[in-house]
Structure 1
Amino acid sequence: MKTFRMDRTAFKAQTAVEAANHAQYYIKLSWQQRLQIAFYLNSIAFNFSLDNPPRMDKTKFKATSRT
């Protein structure tokens, strides 16, 4: 299995005040817009294309009925 590493050069260190200012911007966005931003940041951190994201290995999970 390939290990993925976050590209730490794509981000910058911030003070708590600077980070708090960003929160005010993101809180005004809809949850769909925030999800798109999170997906974009994950694609950068784990180096995958937005057009071709990695697939989940569905053989590791199993659904069963509770009846």
Structure 2
Amino acid sequence: MDGQNKEEQLTLEESFAELDRLVERLEDRDIPLEESFSLYKRGMDLLTSCKEKIDTVEKKMLQITEDGEINEF
């Protein structure tokens, strides 16, 4: 399973929790440079996945009609 599939399987809450852990680790002054780059990339991948999920939800919300019916896009 590649990294993108892993991000797609995480809920937004799980992604945010992992992002919090990544930020905490990146704030550690003793983190090796290579590890910090790896963690940064993982964080950016998670952010991209979260943005895509949120965009999808927003598009679905915009498709709700005045009668309360949802029109899928």
Taking structure 2 as the reference length, the TM-score comes to 0.35
More helix, by proportion: 2
Taking structure 1 as the reference length, the TM-score comes to 0.38
Which gives a bigger RCO, structure 1 or 2 (Cα 8 Å, sep 6+)?
1
